[in-house]
Amino acid sequence: MVISANPLKLDVRSHAKCLTICSVATIATFQYGLDYALVGGFLSMPGFLEVYGYYDEVRGKWNIDPTVQQLISSLMTVGTFVSSMLVGPFSQKFGRKAGLWTAALVNFVATAIMMATTSVGALYFARFLLGMSVGWFLTFSQIYVHEVAPAHLRGIAFAVYQTQLSIGSVVGASVDYATHKMDGRRAYQIPLSMFFIAPTLQFVLLFFLPETPRWLMVQKREEEAESAMRRLRNSNIQESEFQAEFLEIRDSTRSQMEGSKAVFMDIWRGSNRRRTLLSIAVICFHAGTGSSWVIYYTTYYLEKANVSDPFAYSILTTCCGIIGVLFSFLYVRHIDRRAIMFWGCMGCAIFQLMPAVAWTVAPDSQAAANAVVASVALFKFAYTTMGPYAWLMGGEYPNNQQRGYVFGIASALNFALTWLGTFTAPFFINPAALGWNAKYGYIWFVSNIIMVLFTFFFLPETRDRTLEEVHEMFEAKLPARKFKGHVCVGVEGMAARAIGKEIDVKEDRDDDALHLETLEVRNRSKVTQPDKQV
């Protein structure tokens, strides 16, 4: 059973407005999936290779130099690393929305350069700029969702985030498939134009979204924080519930900021150090699964594995990723975060091992090629069932004041490891280098097993907990296995004081009605459905 001091109604309909706002805030995550699919397809597209590659006389096909391949793929990730490191100081001063607006402007510049240039140097620079924008799209949108979504619906909001990212991958793979046989530069210029769509839409819609109440609270702008929270909550939320939630956030944030000096140094002190390291670890699960090389090089990987029509199969495998995240909508509110991470990493381990074994037993065979296609599809399914919830847990662990810094650093380190994966993968899978092909999966099988063990022993459970409850449990220095079931007396006390305020305001009301309302909110330690454990 899961205990929570969340004072809000636990249905979905009462929070439709907030979920819509979260969906708008994450629109541009479409870019990340789009980039993985588009640029991965470019590496097997004659129109692109005629400009940036060479013709392989021996194989009778266009190919690309491994170094150029590495830089095109990895410089975007370098950009995400740099921008993520800047999230903390930027967001502390300017907020979450300003980060998303800036990301859109940088995206426009990067896309224009990529479409116009034929210089590999300019392409490298544009890839770096695009990475800067993507890094901020991902980090700021997720921090925004962490800070505005109700505790019991953060999982749903992150499933929406991953759905938009996965749709970007399908769109990218589909557009590549439609243009890959075209002559000349338009074969890749048409797909590149897709980079303008989502950021433009989000740039406009952001004017209608409030800043996050928790960020405003950290800035000591409490009246603005209350106004922003009212814009986020449906009109059918009772005033007593609203006041209970608002007071929890206000009092907890004040407590978190007491004695704080330099935020960057604070994240490494006391109980905050554990929270920072856990956030870094769980967010780096993305890189640890080996998703970077499987997703980024899908088309290229399938081509080198002698799969017929790699572009079509790339679309098929990417659709499996969407099915995975849609499947997660069914269980994210009912299954513990730890269980999702445990079984997700286990699935990724198995589907990295399968093609490696097949290629070892029967290299270059049709059976091995079939195993590669099946494994890539199943890997993407497994990865998307757990991927968004690694981001989710990584943002739940830090406190309100430190979230921007911790989440930014954790994301940056994940992108650094992702860069390492994309940069080194060509050495392993390119026939001009080691030519391991699917046997590269052995390395990532071991990596996934390590994460399975880490999840079991070290990750605390946060499902249905408010961010203020998570803070209280870390301050109490609870071991990971005791987070679940712990009653957060301090947070409940904050809610109780809010109820007291309501009683003062509504003291002329009928005594019986008042008694029922206060009891409903005061006893807000809710018990959700029985859950599954690791």
User: Does some domain include residue 331?
Assistant: yes
Written as six digits, the tokens of 101 are: 């607006």
Tell me which residue range forms the domain holding 91.
3-211+240-472
**Exposed e or buried b for every residue in 403-441, given b needs 16+ CB within 10 A?**
bbbbbbbbbbbbbbbbbebbbbbbebbbeeeeebbbbbb
User: Does some domain include residue 486?
Assistant: no
- Please answer whether residues 423 and 127 qualify as being in contact, where contact means their C-beta atoms are separated by less than 8 angstroms: no
pLDDT of residue 432: 65
pLDDT of residue 503: 38
Question: How many domains, the chain?
Answer: 1
User: Does some domain include residue 420?
Assistant: yes
- Please answer whether residues 477 and 272 qualify as being in contact, where contact means their C-beta atoms are separated by less than 8 angstroms: no
User: Does some domain include residue 498?
Assistant: no
pLDDT of residue 507: 40
Written as six digits, the tokens of 519 are: 């009891």
Helices vs. strands in the chain: H and E counts, helices first: 26, 4
Give the DSSP per-residue string, 247-298. Answer: HHHHHHHHHHHTT---HHHHTTSHHHHHHHHHHHHHHTHHHHTTHHHHHHTH
- In order of 8, 11, 188, 502, the CA distances from 194 in angstroms are 39, 36, 11, 51
- Please answer whether residues 54 and 62 qualify as being in contact, where contact means their C-beta atoms are separated by less than 8 angstroms: yes
Q: Model-level pTM greater than 0.75?
A: yes
Contacts of 68 (CB under 8 A, 6+ apart): 52, 53, 120
Query: Domain holding 273: CATH number?
Result: 1.20.1250.20
Can you state the angle between helices 120-148 and 96-116, rounded to 10 degrees? 160
- Tell me the C-alpha distance between 469 and 448, whole Å: 30
Unique residue bearing structure tokens 């679309």: 315
User: Does some domain include residue 496?
Assistant: no
The three-class DSSP label of residue 532 is: strand
- Give residue 54's Cα distance to chain centre: 36
User: Does some domain include residue 15?
Assistant: yes
> CB neighbours (10 Å) of residue 457?
9
pLDDT along the chain (534 residues), means of 10: 59 86 91 82 83 79 81 85 94 93 96 93 94 94 94 91 88 86 87 93 95 93 94 86 87 84 86 96 95 76 72 81 91 93 96 89 80 88 93 94 94 90 77 75 94 97 92 93 88 67 42 38 43 46
User: Does some domain include residue 312?
Assistant: yes
- In order of 41, 55, 102, the CA distances from 60 in angstroms are 19, 7, 45
User: Does some domain include residue 152?
Assistant: yes
- Tell me the C-alpha distance between 8 and 15, whole Å: 9
- Tell me the C-alpha distance between 487 and 202, whole Å: 39
Provide the sign of the torsion angle of the four alpha carbons 39, 41, 43, 48, taken in this order.
negative
Nearest to 173 by CA among 298, 87, 280: 298
pLDDT of residue 469: 92
